[in-house]
């Protein structure tokens, strides 16, 4: 054993050694705190990184938005201007162009039946009406969307004006003012929709300037084409197109629910307006674009280009050389669903044989002049 005197003589040397070892326990605490801080920073970075925007925030926001839409649909809710502006900010033009490229991509023959068959079940597509019912024939989704009808699938009524497309009637009836109903209680401006009247200026009032006969009134018919409908549209009557106006607007959804929420929806969206005359005077037929409907094709107007990239004019006007259309003639086609709007002059006793919510087919009589229906 060491004598006490020897131990005391070693204390000056031992004490500093123990002092150096004392920080060992606090060091463990500091390391633990450092790990917790790093863990917190790591958790924060998972939610604040660019990757998190697409892997976390977008799915979470989508679920919340769908839930909110479901709740809103179950109550009598009026959409606010802030929500409309926020909805307009979505890049629907870019997504529609992307969808157009995907839809035009040629699919392998082995999966065409599965892809198109699933689509038919989802949207209740009637393949018996198609000119070619073999699903492997269609090279792409775009070719399947714009499929033609077999001969005899539609009967063209002898009525003066018939349905230009398959779809659901959103609204129809007389339009006696510059504000027209797109659905019940929700309106849009006639002048904003058609644009400046450069083809006939015979009155100070815009509404009256469209009429050739002041005894007549304007009538309208709005038909919505769902994704499962026949996507080509036809001429509703014998008429002559004199003027085309292309509006490079937005590509918002035009389904009936959105049309009932957003006033002036049809004046916001991209559209091709064809203006001319029929036997009663003024006549116009408008193809309205929508989400994933970046391409509107008009067979007798090959110069029309919709949803183009880069800088574009808000309005593109073209004077047409008296292009004649006969009732039932093919007029154009959409990709996915969209809307056709007819605005025309007719006598006050002109009555629609339809009401909002009715389903119509190409060639079906729109008026009470004939009760004959499409087969």
Residues 6+ apart with CB under 8 A from 154: 361, 362, 363, 374, 375
Q: Which of 219, 231, 234, 246 does the annotation list as catalytic?
A: 234
Spell 206-216 as b/e; 16+ CB within 10 A means b.
Answer: ebeebbeeeeb
φ/ψ (deg, to 5) at 296: -115, 120
For the chain, report the end-to-end CA distance as a whole number of angstroms.
118
d(CA 239, CA 2): 123
Residue 213 annotated as catalytic: no
φ/ψ (deg, to 5) at 323: -80, 120
**CA dihedral of 52, 53, 58, 59, whole degrees rounded to 10:** -10
Residue 234 annotated as catalytic: yes
Helices (H) and strands (E) in the chain, counts: 12, 13
Closest CA to 160 of 357, 31, 361, 344: 344
Write down the H helix ranges in 124-233: 141-145, 190-194, 206-210
d(CA 253, CA 292): 9
Place of tokens 């699938």: 153
Could you give the 3-state DSSP secondary structure of residue 69?
A: helix
Q: What is the DSSP string of 104-145?
A: HSPPPHHHHHHHHHHHHHHHT--GGGBS---GGG--SHHHHH
List of E strands, the chain? 167-175, 179-183, 186-189, 217-225, 232-234, 239-247, 271-278, 281-288, 296-298, 315-325, 330-334, 338-346, 359-360
The token pair that represents 208 in the structure block: 């009256």
Q: Which of 142, 157, 166, 295 does the annotation list as catalytic?
A: 166
Residue 140 annotated as catalytic: no
Residues annotated as part of the active site: 166, 234, 338
């Amino acid at each position: 054993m060491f004598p006490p005197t020897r131990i005391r003589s070693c204390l000056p040397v031992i004490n500093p050694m123990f002092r150096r070892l004392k920080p060992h326990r606090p060091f463990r605490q500091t390391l633990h705190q450092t790990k917790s801080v790093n863990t917190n920073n790591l958790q924060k970075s998972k939610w604040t990184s660019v990757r998190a925007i697409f892997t976390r925030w977008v799915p979470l926001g989508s679920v919340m938005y769908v839930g909110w839409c479901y709740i809103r649909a179950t109550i009598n809710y009026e959409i606010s201007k802030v929500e409309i502006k926020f909805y307009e900010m979505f890049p629907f033009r870019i997504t529609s162009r992307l969808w157009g490229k995907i839809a035009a991509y040629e699919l392998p023959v082995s999966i065409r039946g599965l892809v198109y068959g699933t689509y038919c079940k989802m949207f209740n597509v009637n393949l018996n009406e198609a000119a070619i019912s073999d699903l492997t024939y269609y090279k792409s989704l775009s070719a399947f969307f714009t499929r033609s009808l077999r001969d005899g699938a539609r009967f063209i009524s002898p009525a003066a004006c018939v349905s230009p497309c398959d779809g659901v009637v959103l609204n129809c009836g007389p339009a006696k003012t510059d504000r027209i109903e797109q659905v019940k209680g929700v309106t849009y401006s006639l002048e904003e929709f058609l644009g400046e009247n450069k083809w006939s200026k015979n009155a100070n009032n815009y509404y009256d300037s469209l009429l050739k006969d002041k005894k007549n009134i304007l009538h309208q018919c709005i038909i919505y084409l769902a994704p499962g409908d026949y996507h080509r549209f036809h001429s509703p009557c014998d008429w002559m197109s004199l003027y085309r106006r292309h509006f490079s607007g937005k590509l918002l959804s035009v389904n009936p629910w959105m049309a009932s929420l957003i006033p002036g929806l049809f004046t916001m969206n991209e559209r091709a307006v064809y203006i001319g005359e029929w036997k009663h005077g003024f006549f116009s037929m408008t193809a309205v674009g929508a989400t994933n409907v970046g391409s509107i094709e008009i067979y007798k107007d090959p110069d029309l280009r919709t949803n183009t990239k880069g800088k574009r004019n808000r309005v593109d006007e073209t004077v047409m050389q008296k292009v004649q259309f006969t009732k039932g003639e093919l007029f154009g086609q959409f990709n996915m669903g969209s809307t056709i709007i007819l605005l025309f002059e007719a006598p006050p006793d002109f009555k629609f044989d339809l009401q909002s919510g009715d389903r119509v087919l190409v060639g079906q009589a729109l008026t009470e002049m004939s009760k004959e229906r499409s087969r």
